Structures are given as structure tokens and as C-alpha cells.
Amino acid sequence: MELTSVKTIRDLCQMFGFDFSKGLGQNFLLDSAVLDKICEAASGTEGVLEIGPGFGVLTKELSKNFEKVISVEIDKTLLPVLSYTLEECKNVKIINEDFMKLNVKKMLCEEFNSKKVSVAANLPYYITTPIVTSLLEGGYDIANIVVMVQKEVAERFCAKPGTKEYGAITVLCNYYTVPEIICKVPASSFYPTPKVDSAVVCMHVCEEPRVKVKNEKLFFKIVKAAFAQRRKTLLNCLASGFGMEKAIISLLSTLSYQECLTPFYNSFFILKSPKVQSTVFPS
Ligand code: SAM
């Protein structure tokens, strides 16, 4: 069964009375070369976790490349379709849950015995950032996160300092992983055709965060505040984010930091300053 064929997808829809849900981001991938690239990028672990199998086009490829595949699908109307399309894939288990409500740690421990896994997914766009954030911040045993996301979002994940795409999510991705765009995927590679182009991002998760900070919670609070209002100066962003204008102004003035700088500039520069470290991260 060729799941990358529009005819097969239409036949399956008719056979199972399935209707695509726009709300759940159901745009199914048609490009087998992209499937190969996702599998290759995710390789290196025995197990793989997929989020949102749809009709199982990626699941099927993952089942050929990994010993065990756990795939989490929110839409229960897809379950009979998946039983049919993945009938021969004995190493695949479908979990019918909302990924955002799933106890991921418990599931990974039960299904993979806490061994490192890769994550591979053509993500539903409406919750891309919350899913990626939860994977990064969850402290799970993950080696690689390979996700198809909207092209503009992929560019934000992998942005270079000083560009307009660089933001809090870039810092988050680069704190835990080394992210790279492995391919761009036009809207025409999906059925139904979405309005936007996509890209596959591969994030290699590092053993340790790439920057040492004393207080991660505070670090990310500062980063979020710094990028919250891009038209404001960094000083004003931090002042409104922390409600401590005077303290920050006096702190930055001691560093001779240019008040006109905007958060475009790499926030690590200021955060790594020993003076700021000792003041905002008191030991
Ligand atoms: N993997 C398939 C492919 O590549 O063609 C389908 C990808 S489709 C873009 C996204 C899938 O995620 C859909 O099957 C959708 O039902 C599922 N999904 C949406 N929200 C979800 C959630 N919160 N938890 C788990 N699955 C979800």
C-alpha cells in the first residue's frame, strides 16, 4: 500500500469514512525522499517516539528503521485506519492520547526502559512550539528530535544571533541542542495542501546544556522578557519583564551597556557578563 499516493489516501478516507480535521493540523506527507531524510536524521537509537501518525506514512518507514516505534495520536477516528495500514508493522504501538496531556516520562520508562530514544514527527502546526518546548524542558532521555514544522518556525529554531528570526525559542533550542534545517518541504508535498511551506529540523540533544547557568528558571525568564517586545530596547524589556527598572538601569549603566541596543543582539553577551551573573544569579 503506497501511503504517499493521493489516490491511496482518498481511497482510505472513503473506506473508513475519514474526514480531515484542520484543527488537528492533519496534512499528510506525500514525499518519500523526505521520509527517508527524517528516518536517517533520527537514526542512532533502538527506539523512536512519533507524535501524530496520521495514516501512518512516517510510522511505516520508522518501523523499518527502528526496533520499536511508539506513536501517539490524539484522533481516535484514525485508529481503525492505522490498524489497517500498519497491520504488518509488529514493532509499532499506537497510543491514543493528546501528547500534551501524556505523562511522557512514565511512558518512556515503561515502553523503552528509560533507554535513549529519538523523536520523529510531522508535527501538527497548531502546537509545534508547546510540543518542542515540552520535549526540550522535560528532561527526557532523548538523543535526537527530528520534526517537520512550518518553514518560518524552523528558521526561528535555527536562527543566527543578530537576525530578525532570533528569539527566545532560538535560545531554548540552542541551550539544549544543536539544531539544523535538513530540508525544506513545499506545501505541495502534503495532502490536503496547507497554506504554508515546511522544513525538517534535526536537533541533536547535547549531554549537557551548551551554556552553564546557575539558575535555569531565572535564565529563561530573562531571555523571555528580553525578546517579549522586539521594538523596545533591551533595557525596557527587562525592566517591564521584571518590574525592576531602577535596579536594571543602574546595573547596566555600570557595564556601560548601550541603552539603545534591542534584543536582536545576542542576549548571551549581557547574560555572560560576570557583573550580571553575580547580581542576577546570586550564589
Ligand atoms: N505523520 C503523518 C504524516 O506525516 O503524514 C501525519 C502528520 S499530521 C501533520 C499531524 C498529526 O498529529 C495528525 O494525525 C493529528 O491528528 C495528530 N495530532 C494533532 N494534535 C495532536 C496531539 N495533541 N497529540 C497527538 N497527536 C496529535
Atom 10 (ligand 1) nearest CA: 124
* DSSP single-letter state for residue 126: G
Atom 23 (ligand 1) nearest CA: 98
pLDDT tens, residue by residue, 115-141:
999 999 999 999 999 999 999 999 999
Q: Would the CB of 29 count as within 6 Å of ligand 1?
A: yes
CA distance 158 to 184: 13
Q: Would the CB of 53 count as within 6 Å of ligand 1?
A: yes
Domains in the chain, start-ordered, CATH in brackets?
6-205 (3.40.50.150), 216-280 (no CATH)
Q: Would the CB of 75 count as within 6 Å of ligand 1?
A: yes
Reading the chain (283 residues) residue by residue, the pLDDT tens digits are: 999 999 999 999 999 999 999 999 999 999 999 999 999 999 999 999 999 999 999 999 999 999 999 999 999 999 999 999 999 999 999 999 999 999 999 999 999 998 999 999 999 999 999 999 999 999 999 999 999 999 999 999 999 998 999 999 999 999 999 999 999 999 999 999 999 999 999 999 999 999 888 888 888 888 888 888 878 877 778 777 777 665 665 566 566 444 434 444 445 445 555 555 555 555 5
Q: Would the CB of 25 count as within 6 Å of ligand 1?
A: yes
Sorted by sequence, the CB contacts under 8 Å of residue 277 that are 6+ apart come out as: 214, 271
- How remote is the CA of residue 23 from the centroid of ligand 1, in Å? 10
Cα distances from 180 to residues 41, 97, 278, in angstroms, run 10, 29, 33
* DSSP single-letter state for residue 160: P
Say what the pTM is: 0.87
Q: Would the CB of 71 count as within 6 Å of ligand 1?
A: no
Q: Would the CB of 157 count as within 6 Å of ligand 1?
A: no
Sorted by sequence, the CB contacts under 8 Å of residue 107 that are 6+ apart come out as: 70, 95
Pocket test for ligand 1, best of 5, 20, 24 (most atoms within 8 A of CB): 24
Number of H helices and E strands in the chain, helices first, is 13, 9
* DSSP single-letter state for residue 82: H
Q: Would the CB of 185 count as within 6 Å of ligand 1?
A: no
